[in-house]
Amino acid sequence: MAAFLPTMRVAAILLAAGQGRRFSAQTASPVAKQYLTLGGRPVIRHAADALIPHVQILQPVGERASLDEALSGLRAPSGCTIAPCVPGGETRQDSVRAGLEALDRLPEGEKPDLVLIHDGARPYVPAEVTRAVIDALSAHGGAIPGVPVADTIKRVRDGVITDTVPRTDLYRAQTPQGFRFGLLRDLHRGAAASDATDDAALLETAGHHVAMVAGSEDNIKLTYKEDLVRLERLIGPTLLPRTGLGYDVHAFAEGRPLILCGITVPHTRGLAGHSDADVGIHALCDAIYGALAEGDIGRHFPPSQNEWKDADSARFLVHAGERIRARGGMLINADLTLICERPKIGPHAQAMRERLADLLQVGVDRISVKATTSERLGFTGREEGIACTAAVSVLVP
């Protein structure tokens, strides 16, 4: 191995172009399984992190915007390149071929000698499994990891067992599967219409030897929701996106300061209300409580309680932010629109964003504050009050 590895250029094709139909059918997840968050990072990101120490080129295959986001901040060790992602195809085999062709377009001298094909939906491949695959390629055209089948295997037709299949030489195939680059490229070019579910099958059919090395029971492919439960035990909880909407209105009142989104805005009048009447924070709190399905601001801070009279609404927002964290979640972003003719919000929008971000303990890039008039129509148009809408996205286990 010591003599073999340093002379070989190894690439990994990371597959992420699947739709995860089996998983979505069970869970109705709006997010493709490879982009679900496990332990704070997307599934595909775990897979990339696991592969990258072993390769000189990482070639992601899938939809560019999703992959760029999921892999953002991924640092390649020196001597390793993360190639621009290429779109996948209709089948897994089409996607592998797209990755191989992208690698083949590299200039001579930069093309890999060996290629690993890895499911982006396998986030927990142990380093020793990847090493064993690469090592086995010193003696074989292909090598794949697998685990021996432990259960008794039955063939069943129409609900009735037809026979018992001897299991002594049966293995469950995993990835990364490793190959001589030129060999796999040529076999894929000649096998466009085959329905192989893995890459080793192409070599087997063509009569090449493929070595089986020790896989791992932890090298789980996220296929069904039961797999997610097992992966969560290994890596951490899955965060799913949720959305909340909030809306609030307060009437203008003489003799009160105007508090909007946590800051005092110079104006001729303030807003009337039981608390400080911060219409922006109230709409934002309702959006957060809505995303968590935890009622509304009135449930947490009833206007009937004197305790909240003239209260600083910043306290309400701190509470809403704490509720996200208490649920093990995180705020993705919040977008507020203040609706008023006057005062002009633009000059204060940045200070409002910073204050809200501070109260929620998130980066200011996650908070948007904008404004519109209602073209002098309705109560906001007549300057009787200010309205605010808020939308938030959160990730929650």
Ligand X SMILES: Nc1ccn([C@@H]2O[C@H](COP(=O)(O)OP(=O)(O)OP(=O)(O)O)[C@@H](O)[C@H]2O)c(=O)n1
- Comparing C-alpha atoms, which of 19, 61, 394, 14 is closest to residue 242? 394
What's the min distance (Å) between Cβ of 223 and ligand LQXTBERG?
Answer: 5
Binder among 188, 221, 323, 366 for ligand X (CB under 6 A): 221
Stretch touching ligand X by CB under 6 A, among 17-25, 128-136, 239-247, 354-362: 17-25
| Cβ proximity to ligand X, 23 vs 252, nearer residue | 23
The answer on whether 282 is annotated among ligand-binding residues is yes
Q: Which residues of 112-150 are buried (b: 16+ CB within 10 A; e: fewer)?
A: bebbbbbbbbbbbbeeebbebbbbbbeebbbbbbbeeee
Angle of CA points 395, 319, 327, to nearest 5°: 35
What are the angstrom distances between the C-alpha of 230 and each of 14, 50, 146, 221?
22, 18, 18, 10
What's the min distance (Å) between Cβ of 188 and ligand X?
Answer: 13
**Interface with ligand LQXTBERG in residues 91-120 (CB under 6 A):** 92, 119
The answer on whether 249 is annotated among ligand-binding residues is yes
What's the min distance (Å) between Cβ of 114 and ligand LQXTBERG?
Answer: 18
What's the min distance (Å) between Cβ of 97 and ligand X?
Answer: 10
Rounded-to-10 torsion of CA 24, 28, 30, 36: -60
**Interface with ligand LQXTBERG in residues 210-269 (CB under 6 A):** 221, 223
Residue 152: count of CB within 10 angstroms of its CB? 9
Residue facing ligand X at closest CB distance: 18
DSSP of 26-49, one letter per residue?
A: HH--SS-GGGSEETTEEHHHHHHH
Binder among 39, 87, 89, 241 for ligand X (CB under 6 A): 89
Pairing relationship of beta strands 114-119 and 142-148 according to DSSP bridges: unpaired
| Cβ proximity to ligand LQXTBERG, 147 vs 183, nearer residue | 147
Q: Does 21 bind ligand X (CB under 6 A)?
A: yes
Residues 145-184, mask of contacts with ligand LQXTBERG (x by CB under 6 A)? ----------------------------xxx---------
The answer on whether 232 is annotated among ligand-binding residues is no
What's the min distance (Å) between Cβ of 200 and ligand X?
Answer: 14
Instruction: Report the SS3 class of residue 240.
Output: strand
Q: Does 201 bind ligand LQXTBERG (CB under 6 A)?
A: no
| Cβ proximity to ligand X, 120 vs 321, nearer residue | 120
- Calpha distance 111→103 (Å, rounded): 6
- Calpha distance 28→379 (Å, rounded): 41
The answer on whether 374 is annotated among ligand-binding residues is yes
Contacts of 248 (CB under 8 A, 6+ apart): 279, 282, 283, 286, 387, 388
**Interface with ligand LQXTBERG in residues 117-136 (CB under 6 A):** 119
Pairing relationship of beta strands 238-253 and 385-396 according to DSSP bridges: antiparallel
Angle of CA points 242, 245, 251, to nearest 5°: 160
376 secondary structure, DSSP code: T
Q: Which residues bind ligand LQXTBERG (CB under 6 A)?
A: 92, 119, 173-175, 197-198, 221, 223
**Known binding-site residue numbers:** 248-250, 274-275, 282, 296-298, 372-375, 379, 382
Q: Which residues bind ligand X (CB under 6 A)?
A: 15-23, 34, 61, 88-92, 94-95, 119-121, 221, 223
